[in-house]
Amino acid sequence: MKLSISGSRESIWVWLFWALGIYLALEAGPFLIARWVLRKAPGELAGPYLAFAVPAIIIMPLVWWLRKWESKGASPKRVARGWGLSVAIFGVAGIAALSYSGVALRLMDRVDAEVNFVVMVLLSVPILYFGIYHRALRFISSRALGHQGGLSPK
């Protein structure tokens, strides 16, 4: 198997290898800073580090699938709905990782984290879904017009 990022559009496994590798490497920086600032042992930061990896593990296959779906000619509204749902799920996973990490590192009380989780999910899911849906619909529609040889809207 040739390891090149150019083949990532064809195979989800190559794409995930490169994307997750880069994501986890970039995520290591903030955790090294957190280790220094909070004076925590590496073992105490392992759970929060993995918790913040879960949202990426969820969204990355969805992104690959949505791009493949779009390239096969799915309707722009359907692909935009997929993007909205994917980003909303990513947001919930990110909020869960933040709440878990706050409790695990003893920065938040468990009850406060649970209440904050519910409030943040209720507020963020509609904002993320509809915000990304409209943005993706505009972007996908203009790209589809460009592929058909029409003029793309400004």
Using one digit for the tens of pLDDT, what is the confidence trace for 106-129?
Answer: 999 999 999 999 999 999 999 999
Banded pLDDT at 82 (limits 50, 70, 90):
very high
Q: Which residues contact 34 (CB under 8 A, 6 or more apart)?
A: 40, 45
Q: What is the pLDDT of residue 109?
A: 96
Domain map (residue ranges) of the chain: 5-147
Model confidence, pTM: 0.80
Q: Is 151 exposed, middle or buried (0-12, 13-18, 19+ CB in 10 A)?
A: exposed
Contact assessment for residue 92 and residue 125, using Cβ atoms and an 8 Å cutoff: yes
Q: Return the pLDDT at 12.
A: 85
Residue listed under structure tokens 């993995």: 50
pLDDT at 94 over 70: yes
pLDDT in tens, 51-80: 999 999 889 999 889 989 988 888 899 999
